Amino acid sequence: MEILLDTANLEKIRKYNDIYDITGVTSNPTILSREKAEFFPLLLEIRSIIGDKQLHVQVTGSTCEEMVKEAETITDKLGKNTYIKVPVNEEGIKSIKMLKSQGYKVTGTAIYMPQQAMLAASVGADYVAPYFNRMNNMNVDSKKALEEITWLFEHYHKDTKILAASFKNTHQIMDALLAGAHAVTASPELYTQMVESPVIDSAIAGFGADWEAVYGDKRIYE
- Which is nearer to ligand E4P, 94 or 134 (by Cβ)? 134
Among the candidate windows 42-50, 63-71, 125-133, 138-146, which touches ligand E4P by CB under 6 A? 125-133
DSSP track, 116-165: HHHHHHHTT-SEEEEBHHHHHHTT--HHHHHHHHHHHHHHTT--PEEEEB
- Helix, strand, or coil (residue 200): helix
Q: In DSSP terms, which residues pair with 87 in a beta bridge?
A: 109
Spell out, one character per residue from 133 to 172, where the chain touches ligand E4P: x when CB under 6 A holds, - when not. xx------------------------------xx------
By CB under 6 A, is residue 89 in contact with ligand E4P? Answer: no
Residues 46-85, one symbol each (x = binds ligand E4P by CB under 6 A, - = not), give ----------------------------------------
6 binds ligand E4P (CB under 6 A): yes
Q: Go through the chain and tell me how many residues it has.
A: 222
Compute the distance between CA of residue 17 and CA of residue 8 in angstroms, rounded to an integer.
12
Contact between 88 and ligand E4P by CB under 6 A: the answer reads no
Cα torsion 41, 62, 116, 98: sign: negative
* Closer of 187 and 211 to ligand E4P (Cβ): 187
158 is catalytic: no
Give, to the nearest 10 degrees, the angle between helix 39-50 and helix 64-78: 50
Which residues pair with residue 162 across a beta bridge? 128
Tell whether residue 7 is a contact of ligand E4P (CB under 6 A): no
By CB under 6 A, name the binding residues for ligand E4P: 6, 26, 28, 30, 109, 129, 131, 133-134, 165-166, 185
